[in-house]
Homo-oligomer: A and B are copies of this chain.
Amino acid sequence: MPLREAKKAAVRQALVSAANRRFHSQGFEQTTIDEICADAGVSRRTFFRYFENKEALAFPHRSERLERFLALLDGVGRSPNPVDGLRAICATFAHEYSANRVSILAQQRLVDSVPALAAREHEIDRDWETAMAATFHRRFGRGAASERRARLMAGAAIGVIRATMRYWYEKDGKPDLARLGQEALDGLEQGFLSEH
């Protein structure tokens, strides 16, 4: 990695770490950007060259995860049943989330405690939903009806995934996330009428 890039990564990491320490000890609103900059040894002006705003600090993996998701979605287009594709992706992410359980839970508690962050979090879901809809649409073929079906399905999918994540967070990440995910997708596939 070129020196310049390495330095940037270091600064970014310093800002994220400093912010996390402050956020968790003082809370989000009580932490000023000045404090974070001081801790990270960087000017305020520079901060805004790394992050659009204070909120973005709470989602440091946003774009990285989206990219990974997009890459995985490529594989979904080819599977006969798109929900099966989601199952595979779900398993991958469940594995990652379980492995980083502690830090992810801490992050989530922060987000849940600040309305502005909770709102921003949905922007991420929106990105994922759009990506899914596009994939399903390609899979379903041309036509207005199939586009609408793709979008409904993507909306429902993100809905159950988000509900599942919230459930998992609420239970302190104790349940088997991969299993929760599979069950959620079963519901999505078969409708929510049957008792099991």
Contact = CB atoms under 8 A, between A and B. Distances in A.
Given A157-B159, A159-B158, A159-B160, A152 B122 contact: no
Interface in A106-128: 115, 118-120, 122-123, 125-126
A188 interface: yes
Interface in A78-118: 81, 83, 115, 118
A100 to B, nearest CB: 23
B187 A153 contact: yes
A151 interface: yes
Q: How many subunits of this chain does the assembly comprise?
A: 2
B187 A193 contact: no
Interface residues of A, number: 39
Residue of A156, A163, A166, A188 with most partner-chain B CB within 10 A: A156
A149 to B, nearest CB: 7
A151 B118 CA distance: 18
A167 B167 CA distance: 29
A34 interface: no
Contacts of A190: 191, 193
Given A155-B159, A159-B160, 13 more contacts: A118-B126, A119-B123, A152-B160, A152-B184, A152-B192, A153-B192, A154-B163, A155-B163, A156-B156, A157-B159, A159-B159, A188-B191, A190-B193
